[in-house]
Copies of this chain bind each other. A is one copy, B any other.
Amino acid sequence: MKDVQSEKDLRHVPLKHVGVKELRWPVELRDKEKGTQHSVAKVSLAVDLPHDMRGTHMSRFVECLETMGPIGLHDMEAMLDQLKSKLQAQKAFLQLEFPYFITKAAPVSGRTCPMDIDCIYKAEKGEKFKLRVTAIIPMQTLCPCSKEISDYGAHNQRAWAKLEIEAVEMVWLEDLAAIADACASSPVYGLLKRPDEKFVTEHAYENPRFVEDAVREIALRLEMDKRITWYRAEVESQESIHNHNAFAVVEKRWK
């Protein structure tokens, strides 16, 4: 059978990426506490394509994916090496988006419960391996202005912190979630009993945070971590007094 993809292309347009997207796949992820955990990922796989090749061989991406075991920092790099070799490419790209579960203990009762965060591993390798880790962690923000100007109460809401980092070593998703929790008016939890709810309510009231405050606190902590070479942090809150969101972004200054 003719291999149309391997035809010579005369248009002189190199492709930055060619591959597959929106592919769902069961994954096993390396986990700080328990070794590994299961999840379901949305996967993108791609390579670059030189100007003179007409097409890539799409089925090989899925074949590479089938060889993937538990996923951590080094496993991502091994996958990219395999993609480069199998697709005869100079550069390979791999992105995994997945929900990840962290076991959290309620602040008073100590009751533990899994809570989901959304994560993205985005990796590429040409000469060098590069991995960007994103974690989106739900939190509570309580408005300092509302607290200050009101005789009682203060509007608060579910918000989330989106932490994107590049690092020289593995930074666990659990570590990123802990940073977000420390910078919120209060962390959020999967399971709270009444004494926990009292604690969370009062703790949030004692720690009012604009999105501007929360994102700055996160930035201070990310700056101090010597493993992290680049970051972007965003806090977005589903304002409970509006039908739109407030947000604030910090991005690391390159030196």
Contact = CB atoms under 8 A, between A and B. Distances in A.
A4 B144 contact: yes
Given A188-B243, A191-B62, A219-B13, A146 B201 contact: yes
A182 interface: no
Contacts of A212: 9, 15, 18, 49, 54-56
The contact size tier of chain A is 35 or more
B191 A59 contact: yes
A213 B44 CA distance: 20
A198 B2 CA distance: 11
A21 interface: yes
Given A150-B202, A151-B202, A202-B150, A197 B13 contact: no
Copy total for this chain: 4
A152 B205 contact: yes
A105 interface: no
Interface in A144-195: 144-146, 148-158, 186, 188-195
Contact of A198 (B1, B54, B201, B239): B1
Interface in A22-68: 22-26, 37-40, 44, 46, 49, 54-56, 58-59, 62-63, 66
Interface string A91-132: 000000001010000000000011110000000000000000
Given A16-B251, A26-B39, A37-B26, A145 B4 contact: yes
16 contacts: A1-B195, A2-B148, A4-B144, A9-B212, A9-B216, A15-B215, A26-B37, A56-B212, A59-B191, A142-B153, A152-B205, A154-B201, A157-B157, A158-B238, A158-B239, A186-B241
The 6 closest A-B pairs by CB, nearest first: A153-B205, A38-B38, A23-B244, A150-B201, A17-B249, A24-B116
